[in-house]
Amino acid sequence: MRLVVDLNRCQGYAQCAFLAPDVFAMHGDEGLLYDPEAESAQRERVAQAVAACPVQAILVDEMDMAAAGRTAASAEAPHA
Amino acid sequence: MPDGSLDRLKREGRIVVVGASLAGLRAAETLRDKGFEGTLTMIGDEPYEPYDRPPLSKQVLLGKATADHTALPRRREIDAEWRLGVPASGLDMATRRVKLADGDEVPYDRLMIATGVRARPWPNEAEGELDGVFVLRTRDDGVGLARHLDAGPRRVLVIGAGFTGSEIASACRERGLEVTVAERGDAPLVGALGGVIGAVAAEMHRENGVDLRTGVMVTRLEGDTTGRVRAAHFSDGTTLECDVVVVSLGAQRNTEWLAGSGLGAGPRGIACDAGCRAFDVRGIVTDDVFVAGDVARSPHPLFGYQFLSLEHWGNAVAQAETAAHNMLSESSDRRPHIWVPAFWSSQFGVNIKSVGVPSMGTEIMITQGSRAERRFTGVYGYQGRVIGAVTFDNCRWLQFYEQQIEATAPFPPPFPTVDRRSDGQRPIPADFPDPSVPTHGPTITLSGYSPADRRMTFTPAGH
Ligand SMILES: Cc1cc2nc3c(=O)[nH]c(=O)nc-3n(C[C@H](O)[C@H](O)[C@H](O)COP(=O)(O)OP(=O)(O)OC[C@H]3O[C@@H](n4cnc5c(N)ncnc54)[C@H](O)[C@@H]3O)c2cc1C
Ligand code: SF4
């Protein structure tokens, strides 16, 4: 599945790295590295990260999400 | 298209997008979002569907992703006809046709140009073709460079210490490779951020084991008998053995294909109005040709309506959305593209971000943190107002300064409450080099007021 993070927006809150550590990792104190083409097995976790990102910086492929049935879109955001 | 035919354009019009990358894709998605049901053609000279470039100098070189796996996610289905692997070679504005290098022609009612920039090549062509010599702009470049780094070169030479060059050097060090950086200026990043911040960047390079050489030029690359690069010669008379060279000397705008078309396009980009409509060479705005992304230069009210060229990811997205919106709007519904420039970079484990136009600043003041800790905010002043800001591992302050820039707030910032160390007692000269010295890396260029680069002879009527 494809994803991109708008790193202008990202403020390094690390929610994504916590929820989907195989896809997102902090690099230094506030930098973020991510795998732009994550395994489809990570879909659920990535969807949780998308929902939890406090600045909505993570964009996931629409077609991929449709395939996942948006199950995780309503996942509790730990920030909320 | 005559007035009143907007509905027809939306229903059955033909829109052509030249440049199938970030700006092109986001424009296409926006067009469909706004209800465009006609024919959409995406023309791109690379054989790949739109992919993301920033990871090429970061994740990809660190081995956290591969260059052929950065295809951009889609925000929606765009139902386009893709013409990939074939460059547009010309434009006929009178008959509204884009010419392709394979001889085909594609007619349009509205045209969107997003051909971006390309890496400036090594000036000596034969040396640039040596095995082991790279630029880094495309997916193919990324694949080749990553493969050469995987092979464990003994030394990598990076020529140019702009953002991209610095990121490459940083990735090499993180992988344990020996790397030399050669920079003509006095420090890395000086063109974008000035000498005060450049000095911090230089320390970061050296602390991380980069052999940084400033104030020096590479004069010649030397190959072995099999055509592999083996050494570089410097202007100070020294020679360096290296088996990978990355030429990171900034970018050139992809406008050559528009030569002779009558569009206001030249080496500095394609001039457009604040609504992304391109100017022709006479300085008259077109109604049906729009531009966005790295190739565009547009006037910005916050920066004296000077034309601004940006090589920024966020600008490509925002400008593409505005261009697409305006393409399908009556004149009264059009929006200006007045995005505040914003940029990020990541090197040596430090997150660097900027907003506004730091390079317009004449002074800088460290308002939070300290340079010694590599965690600070620097604010740039120009004629008594805040014009830009940079943060090193301090990005949560950036939004505040973005608002200050938008509000043309006074410089130096007067607030007494901010965390001010010894660094920040007063503004100091930002120390930008002579603007005629070319800078590297993705950055910002103010390119004056003239809509088209081509000069015309003015002959008043009746003479
Ligand atoms: C290694 C690297 C790292 C970067 N890092 C950052 C970063 O950290 N932060 C940031 O803000 N920005 C960064 N950028 C800049 C960012 O990638 C660009 O601003 C963005 O890609 C601009 O998008 P664009 O669509 O305008 O142009 P481009 O992405 O350049 O796309 C233009 C496309 O048009 C094609 N084309 C050109 N001429 C023709 C023709 N005649 N016919 C058909 N197609 C044509 C090109 O081949 C290309 O595919 C980086 C860029 C690179 C290369
Ligand atoms: S959760 Fe969002 S803001 Fe936090 S690190 Fe991830 S992308 Fe950045």
Whether residue B3 has pLDDT greater than 80: no
Q: What is the pLDDT of residues B282-333, one digit of tens each?
A: 989 999 999 999 999 999 988 888 899 999 999 999 999 999 999 999 999 9
Does the distance separating the beta carbons of B395 and A30 come in below 8 Å?
A: yes
For chain A, the residues whose C-beta falls within 8 A of a C-beta of chain B are: 2-4, 6-8, 10-12, 25, 27-31, 33-37, 59-64
Higher pLDDT, B168 or B305: B168
pLDDT at A9: 96
The dihedral sign for the CA sequence A29, B357, B142, B29: positive
* B346 and B169 Cβ atoms separated by less than 8 Å: no
- Mode of pairing for the β-strands spanning B39-44 and B133-134: unpaired
Please give the distance of CA A17 from its chain centroid, rounded to a whole number: 8
pLDDT mean across residues, chain B: 92
Mean pLDDT of B233-245: 97
Mean pLDDT of B1-25: 90
The token duo for B36 is 């465009």
pLDDT at B443: 65
Mean pLDDT of B196-206: 98
Nearest CA to ligand 1 atom 29: B21
pLDDT at B150: 96
pLDDT mean across residues, chain A: 86
Q: A16 to each of A72, A80, B64, how far by Cα in Å?
A: 14, 15, 16
Confidence of residue B451 (pLDDT cuts 50, 70, 90): very low
Mean pLDDT of B393-406: 95
Whether residue A73 has pLDDT greater than 50: no
* A3 and A61 Cβ atoms separated by less than 8 Å: yes
CA-based nearest residue to B308, from B357, B251, B343:
B357
Does the distance separating the beta carbons of B73 and A60 come in below 8 Å?
A: yes
- The reply to whether ligand 2 has any atom less than 6 angstroms from the CB of A57 is yes
- The reply to whether ligand 1 has any atom less than 6 angstroms from the CB of B264 is no
pLDDT at A78: 41
Higher pLDDT, B445 or B302: B302
Give, for B6, the enclosing helix (H) or strand (E). helix B6-12
Buried/exposed code over A30-57 (b: 16+ C-beta within 10 A; e: otherwise): bbbbbbbbbeeebbebbbbbbbbbeeeb
Whether residue B438 has pLDDT greater than 70: no
What's the CA-to-centroid distance between B52 and ligand 1, angstroms?
Answer: 8
Which ipTM score applies to this complex? 0.91
The token duo for B368 is 């939070």
Mean pLDDT of B170-181: 98
pLDDT at B424: 63
The token duo for B206 is 């050296």
pLDDT at B460: 57
pLDDT at B455: 45
Lowest mean pLDDT among A53-62, B154-163, B255-264, B452-461: B452-461
Share of chain B above pLDDT 70, in %: 91
Start-to-end CA span in chain B (Å): 36
Confidence of residue B434 (pLDDT cuts 50, 70, 90): confident
Q: What is the pLDDT of residues B48-59, one digit of tens each?
A: 999 999 999 999
What's the CA-to-centroid distance between A5 and ligand 2, angstroms?
Answer: 8
Confidence of residue B453 (pLDDT cuts 50, 70, 90): very low
Nearest CA to ligand 1 atom 3: B54
